[in-house]
């Protein structure tokens, strides 16, 4: 269970959502959908990488991330960023907390258990994975397995944004011994955008249509279908 009070978590989620809208990190292109590496298409994309270019927003959101890390993952001894988007966030959090840091490559470079992990991993070190966002959780699990092969103990992953549109994601990660923590999700974006956000009623309807059934929306707009993804066992993570 989270250590932070639910009221504080809700405040963090609202402020994170508002900040992402403020810096244009929430992108909509229903007529030319964004494509995920699996072939799934989406009318919306959250570009958390924009955060690093906005010092005030960057400082505030990294403060939130550090607060969640210290309260909900107090046993963390190091943070590791996933290549590439997670690396700057891990570095910022490491600087705030004075914790060691590693980063994890998408693919091994060389041989041995440390081929995918850069930095020093002490045997049994409790490492929290830091990433920008997650959709289905597939790449997060691969990063965590690489850290475990290098000798780390990994039980938590902290992301800025969680799509929260695939019910099986948290169950899949839990089955692998991994808890997911996020500053905000799509429901937080919609809650803020519904009052003073940049989207009109038609655009909000389109976004909700995708979020309610992303695989069917994808199939109707020329992307991968539910059956294709199931047959191919493809991850949904990462877009353009």
Write down the H helix ranges in 78-166. 86-97, 138-149
Q: What are phi and psi of 85, to 5 degrees?
A: -65, -25
* Class of residue 115 by CB neighbours under 10 A (exposed 0-12, middle 13-18, buried 19+): middle
Q: Is 49 left (phi over 0), alpha (psi -120 to 50) or beta?
A: alpha
Q: What is the pLDDT of residues 37-63, one digit of tens each?
A: 667 789 999 999 999 999 999 999 999
- This prediction has a pTM of 0.89
**Domains of the chain, each with CATH number or no CATH:** 6-232 (3.40.50.2020)
Whether residue 183 contacts residue 163, with contact meaning beta carbons closer than 8 Å, is answered with no
| Residues forming beta bridges with residue 81, ordered by sequence position | 103, 130
Dmax over CA atoms of the chain, in Å, equals: 53
Average pLDDT in the 192-210 region? 84
Report pLDDT for 233: 45
Helices 186-196 and 6-22, packing angle to 10 deg: 60
CB-CB neighbours of 85 under 10 Å: 20
For strand 44-46 and strand 78-82, is the pairing parallel, antiparallel, or unpaired? unpaired
Q: What is the pLDDT of residues 72-92, one digit of tens each?
A: 999 999 999 999 999 999 999
Using DSSP's 3-state secondary structure scheme, residue 117 falls into: strand
Average pLDDT in the 101-125 region? 92
């Amino acid at each position: 269970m989270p250590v932070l009070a639910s009221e504080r978590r809700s405040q963090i989620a609202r402020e994170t959502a508002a900040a992402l809208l403020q810096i244009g990190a929430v992108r909509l292109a229903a007529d030319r959908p964004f494509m995920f590496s699996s072939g799934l298409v989406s009318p919306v994309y959250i570009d958390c990488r924009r955060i690093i270019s906005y010092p005030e927003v960057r400082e505030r959101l990294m403060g939130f991330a550090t607060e969640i890390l210290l309260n909900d993952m107090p046993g963390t001894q190091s943070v590791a960023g996933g290549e590439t988007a997670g690396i700057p966030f891990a570095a910022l959090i490491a600087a705030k907390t004075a914790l060691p840091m590693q980063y994890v490559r998408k693919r091994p470079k060389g041989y041995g258990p440390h081929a995918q992990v850069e930095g020093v991993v002490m045997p049994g070190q409790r490492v929290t994975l830091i990433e920008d966002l997650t959709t289905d959780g597939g790449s997060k699990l691969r990063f965590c397995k690489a850290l475990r092969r290098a000798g780390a103990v990994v039980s938590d992953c902290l992301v800025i944004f969680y799509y929260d549109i695939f019910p099986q994601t948290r169950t899949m990660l839990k089955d692998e011994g991994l808890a997911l923590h996020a500053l905000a999700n799509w429901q937080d974006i919609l809650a803020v955008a519904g009052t003073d956000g940049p989207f009109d009623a038609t655009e909000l309807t389109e976004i909700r249509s995708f979020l309610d059934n992303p695989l069917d929306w994808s199939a109707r707009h020329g992307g991968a279908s539910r059956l294709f993804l199931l047959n191919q066992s493809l991850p949904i993570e990462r877009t353009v």
